Every structure is written in C-alpha cells, then in structure tokens.
Amino acid sequence: MIGRLTGSVVDEQPNGTLLVDVSGVGYEVLAPAGTASKLTRNAKGESIVFVHTHVKAEAFDLYGFSH
C-alpha cells in the first residue's frame, strides 16, 4: 500500500485533485480542496503527502492529506 508520497505538486484541480510528481511518475491524489497549500515540505522543498490507499475491484484510489 502507498502511505506517503514525497515530490512536487505539479497540478491542483478546483475539486482538490492533486498531481504529484515523484521521480518522474505522476500520481493522481484525491484531496480536500486547499490541501496543497498546507503540505509539509522536506529539506529539498518537496511536498509530503500522506496517503490512504483504497483498493476496490473497479478502482485504485489515493486520498491525500497534509498530516
């Protein structure tokens, strides 16, 4: 399971969906609106997104949070 992503937020949609680039791989993360501005950053300036991974038969969803 994915529990945390560290990388650059390259896009944020009005519905809160974030696109997080982690070493060239883009992860689409569903998050509450405004989450990107609340994310902690590491020493390299990368955003840290805490993730709840939800797996079901028709989808593999990532829900992101600032803590």
User: What per-residue confidence (pLDDT) applies to 28?
Assistant: 97
Query: Could you give the domains of the chain?
Result: 4-65 (2.40.50.140)
The answer to whether 61 and 16 have CB atoms below 8 angstroms apart is no
For 8-45, write each residue's pLDDT tens digit: 999 999 998 999 999 999 999 999 988 999 999 999 99
For 53-64, write each residue's pLDDT tens digit: 999 999 999 999
User: What per-residue confidence (pLDDT) applies to 49?
Assistant: 97
The answer to whether 19 and 9 have CB atoms below 8 angstroms apart is yes
Measuring CA to CA, which residue among 44, 36, 40, 38 is closest to residue 18?
36
